Amino acid sequence: MSLLDIDERILEVAKLADIVKCPVVDGKELPEVDITLVEGAVTSDEHLEEILHIRKQSKILVALGDCAVMTNVTGMRNYFELDDCLNTAYKTAISNDGQGEMPASPFVMHLNQKVVPLQEVVHVDHVIPGCPPDANTIFYVLSELLNNRIPDLSDVKKLHYG
Amino acid sequence: MTTITIQVNGKQLATEPDKTILEVCRANDIEILTMCHLKGVMDVGACRLCLVEIEGINKLLSACTTKVAANMVIRTDTERIKKYQRITTELFFAERNHVCSVCVANGKCELQQLGYKVGMDHIRYPFLYPKCELDSSHAWYVIDHNRCIMCTRCVRVCNEVEGAHNWDVMNRGTQVRVISDFNSPWGESVTCTSCGKCVHACPTGAIWPKAIVQGQLEKKPGIINELVEKRKMKL
């Protein structure tokens, strides 16, 4: 959603690129694409499957935001055991009033023991760190890629975390 | 007073002996990155960011602990040094749990600034995610070991400037921690004077006052040296 922070400049992006899939807009299968922006870290079996599929379908994979680049807040559960986290969230937390139940549906994704950033499971071509990622940096990286140039964040001083 | 000549990045500089390479470079507007250096307290060369190349010496030496010598030829800007600075910075982030977006020091953190300076856009090393404690037992301040980079600025300022020596270091390697007294809760310390110098000396969001919320922390590391200099004044 941070993509929308680039405001009216999205029209310039639209001139050069077709937005074929976005999880908020539609649920179509991902066709073969030139550029994919991926938000979020890999936390479950479903995410892993998805990112492997995305990698296969995309020529350029861009990790967008601190979660995708360095796990950020999603990685804060890595300091604890997964079972402890789930138990606290669904059962023992005071807000559950002692009536909490662990979700057991087969359709619910299985969380991995550890949350990992994208670059630990697939090859990531470019990164845009930041929480939220800076709109100017997003636009800079997109316009460089769409004009067949290689973005260099260390050069533009557009780095930003947190 | 004797004067010696040294060469830094191809530029001739006249300086007094008995000064460190870091002092001479800073006085001549040559940028050297540092984390563990804090003006006013002793240098220990812990962070390894100020490494410089000196002609005739095979290994890189830390600028903060190496004294200048006559005709020394120093380089601070080579690709080799930049490579090591980037590696060191990434290891700082990978070693403990630095989550900028929920940190009190977000936007005013020396570690964050360092990341921007070395052009760190991602971290190439696996995160260790160690289990670190947070000690909020002190009445006014909190220490969060997740954000500590072991620069030991707090340890030195507490010992040398305040003279309390509440802080010290225990263990080695990834188990290394800053401790209060003999590893007891900070709030139970018998040596801490609650002066707050460690709060200002800390370069990250590891030590902060309780009254501060996310991203609102303002640190003034410069007051440590100001204090040291003022104490030298003869009334």
Q: Model confidence over B116-134: pLDDT tens digits?
A: 999 998 999 999 999 899 9
Return the pLDDT at B10: 93
Range B95-228 classified under CATH 3.40.50.300: no
Tell me how far apart the alpha carbons of residues B109 and A161 are, in angstroms, rounded to a whole number.
11
Residues B68-109 have pLDDT tens digits of: 999 999 999 999 999 999 999 999 999 999 999 999 999 899
Share above pLDDT 70 across residues of chain A, in percent, rounded to a whole number: 97
Q: Which of B49, B50, B43, B74 is nearest to B153 (CA)?
A: B43
Every domain of chain A and the residues it spans? 2-76+112-156
Residues of B in contact with A79 (CB under 8 A): 97, 129-132
Share above pLDDT 70 across residues of chain B, in percent, rounded to a whole number: 100
Place of tokens 């040398």: B160
Q: Which of B90, B106, B121 to mutate to test the interface with A (most CBs of A within 10 A)?
A: B121
Return the pLDDT at A65: 93
pTM for this one?
0.91
Mean pLDDT of the residues in chain B: 94
Return the pLDDT at A20: 86
A87 lies within 8 A of chain B by CB: no
CATH 3.10.20.740 residue spans of chain B: 4-77
Tell me how far apart the alpha carbons of residues B27 and B36 are, in angstroms, rounded to a whole number.
18
Which residues are within 8 A (CB) of B126 and not within 5 positions of it... i.e. 6 or more apart? Answer: A120, B94
B 186-225: CB under 8 A from A: 215
B52 lies within 8 A of chain A by CB: no
Tell me how far apart the alpha carbons of residues A34 and A32 are, in angstroms, rounded to a whole number.
7
Range B4-77 classified under CATH 2.60.120.1440: no
Better pLDDT: A103 or B45: B45
What average pLDDT does range B227-233 have in this prediction?
Answer: 93
Do the chains contact at B121 and A73, CB–CB below 8 Å? no
Amino acid found at A115: V
Residues of A in contact with B102 (CB under 8 A): 73
To the nearest whole Å, the CA of B189 is away from the closest chain A CA by 27
Place of tokens 């005709």: B71
Q: Pinpoint the alpha helices (H) of chain B.
A: 21-27, 79-95, 110-117, 153-156, 197-201, 222-232
Residues B135-148 have pLDDT tens digits of: 999 999 999 999 99
Q: Which of B217, B20, B226, B19 is nearest to B105 (CA)?
A: B217
Do the chains contact at A124 and B97, CB–CB below 8 Å? no
Cβ-nearest to A66 among B101, B120, B124:
B101
Residues A70-106 have pLDDT tens digits of: 999 999 999 899 999 999 999 998 888 888 888 888 8
Residues A102-141 have pLDDT tens digits of: 888 888 889 999 999 999 999 999 999 999 999 999 999 9
CATH 3.30.70.20 residue spans of chain B: 95-228
pLDDT higher than threshold 90 for residue B180: yes
CATH code at A2-76+112-156: 3.40.50.700
- β-strand pairing of A33-39 with A58-64: parallel
CA distances from B189 to B137, B159, B184, B185, B192 (A): 10, 14, 7, 7, 6
What average pLDDT does range A48-57 have in this prediction?
Answer: 95
